[in-house]
A and B are shown apart, each in its own frame.
Chain A
Amino acid sequence: MPKKMMHIGLSAGTIGPYVLLTETPEFCVKIAQYLENPKEIAYNREFRTFSGLLNGTHISVTSTGIGGPSIAIAVEELFQCGAHTMIRVGTCESTSPLVHKGDIVIPNGAISMEGVSSHYIPAEYPPIPDMDLIQTLEEVATTLGHTPKVGVTITSAAYSTRTTPHREEIASSWKNYLHGGALCCEMECAPLFAVGSSIKARVASILISTTHRDQLTTENEDTSSYLDESFIHIALHALKSIIEKDTCETN
Chain B
Amino acid sequence: MHTSTKLVKHLDLSKEDIGQYVFLPGCVERVELIASHLDNPHFVARKGEFYTFTGELEGVKVSVTSTGIGGPSASIAVEELHQLGAHTMVRIGSCASTSPLAKIGHVMIPCGAVRMEGTGNHYLPLEFPAVPDFGLFKHFKQAAINSSYPFNTGVTITKDSFYTEVSPETKPVYHEITSRWNAYVKSGATNTSMECAPLFLIGATLGIRTASVMICATNNDDYSNDDTDYPRDWEQRAIEVGIEGMRRIIKDDIAKDKIHA
Taken together as a complex, chains A and B put the C-alpha atoms of A122 and B173 apart, in Å, by 6
A219: Cβ under 8 A from any B Cβ: yes
Q: Which A6-23 residues sit within 8 Å CB-CB of chain B?
A: 6-7, 9, 23
Verify B224–A6 contact, CB threshold 8 A.
yes
B145: Cβ under 8 A from any A Cβ: no
Chain B residue nearest to A112 (CB atoms) is B118
Give the number of residues in A that approach B within 8 Å (Cβ atoms).
54
Taken together as a complex, chains A and B put the C-alpha atoms of A113 and B116 apart, in Å, by 14
Q: Which A171-218 residues sit within 8 Å CB-CB of chain B?
A: 187, 191, 197-199, 217
Verify A44–B29 contact, CB threshold 8 A.
yes
Q: Which of A31-39, A49-57, A92-100, A153-161 contacts B (4 or more CB under 8 A)?
A: A153-161
Q: Which of A72-80, A131-139, A143-151 contacts B (4 or more CB under 8 A)?
A: A72-80
B174 CB to closest chain A CB (Å) equals 10
Q: Which residues of B contact A9 (CB under 8 A)?
A: 227
B100: Cβ under 8 A from any A Cβ: no
Verify A6–B226 contact, CB threshold 8 A.
yes
Verify B162–A69 contact, CB threshold 8 A.
yes
B70: Cβ under 8 A from any A Cβ: yes
Partner of B160 from A4, A115, A158 at Cβ < 8 Å: A115
Taken together as a complex, chains A and B put the C-alpha atoms of A23 and B117 apart, in Å, by 20
Taken together as a complex, chains A and B put the C-alpha atoms of A217 and B215 apart, in Å, by 38
B205: Cβ under 8 A from any A Cβ: yes
Assuming A69-B71, A120-B172, A199-B170, is B119 touching A115 (CB within 8 A)? yes
Assuming A69-B160, A69-B194, A70-B73, is B122 touching A158 (CB within 8 A)? yes
A189 CB to closest chain B CB (Å) equals 12
B146: Cβ under 8 A from any A Cβ: no
A115 CB to closest chain B CB (Å) equals 2
A45: Cβ under 8 A from any B Cβ: yes
A173 CB to closest chain B CB (Å) equals 10
Assuming A7-B69, A114-B160, A122-B173, is B75 touching A167 (CB within 8 A)? no
Assuming A157-B72, A160-B79, is B161 touching A65 (CB within 8 A)? no
Q: Which residues of A contact B176 (CB under 8 A)?
A: 122
Assuming A6-B226, A220-B7, is B173 touching A69 (CB within 8 A)? no
Verify A198–B170 contact, CB threshold 8 A.
yes
A66: Cβ under 8 A from any B Cβ: yes
Assuming A6-B229, A114-B119, is B72 touching A69 (CB within 8 A)? yes
Verify A169–B125 contact, CB threshold 8 A.
yes
Verify B226–A116 contact, CB threshold 8 A.
no
A121: Cβ under 8 A from any B Cβ: yes
Verify B119–A157 contact, CB threshold 8 A.
yes
Q: Which residues of B contact A170 (CB under 8 A)?
A: 121-122
B8: Cβ under 8 A from any A Cβ: yes
Taken together as a complex, chains A and B put the C-alpha atoms of A116 and B162 apart, in Å, by 9
Q: Which residues of B contact A23 (CB under 8 A)?
A: 48
Partner of A158 from B48, B72, B163, B228 at Cβ < 8 Å: B72
Verify B75–A159 contact, CB threshold 8 A.
yes
Verify B28–A45 contact, CB threshold 8 A.
yes
A163 CB to closest chain B CB (Å) equals 11
Chain A residue nearest to B177 (CB atoms) is A119
Chain B residue nearest to A115 (CB atoms) is B118
Q: Which residues of B contact A5 (CB under 8 A)?
A: 225-227
A227 CB to closest chain B CB (Å) equals 12
Chain B residue nearest to A24 (CB atoms) is B48
Q: Which residues of B contact A197 (CB under 8 A)?
A: 172
A228: Cβ under 8 A from any B Cβ: no
Q: Which A99-138 residues sit within 8 Å CB-CB of chain B?
A: 112-116, 118-122, 125
Q: Which residues of B contact A119 (CB under 8 A)?
A: 116, 159-161, 164, 171, 173, 177
Binding site for B on A (CB under 8 A): 3-7, 9, 23-26, 44-46, 65-70, 72-73, 76-77, 112-116, 118-122, 125, 156-161, 165-167, 169-170, 187, 191, 197-199, 217, 219-221
Top 5 A-B pairs, shortest CB-CB distance: A115-B118, A67-B72, A69-B70, A158-B122, A46-B49
Sampled A-B contacts (23; CB under 8 Å): A4-B228, A7-B69, A25-B48, A45-B28, A45-B29, A46-B68, A65-B69, A65-B70, A67-B73, A69-B70, A69-B162, A73-B163, A115-B71, A115-B117, A115-B121, A118-B118, A119-B164, A120-B161, A158-B119, A170-B121, A217-B9, A219-B6, A219-B8
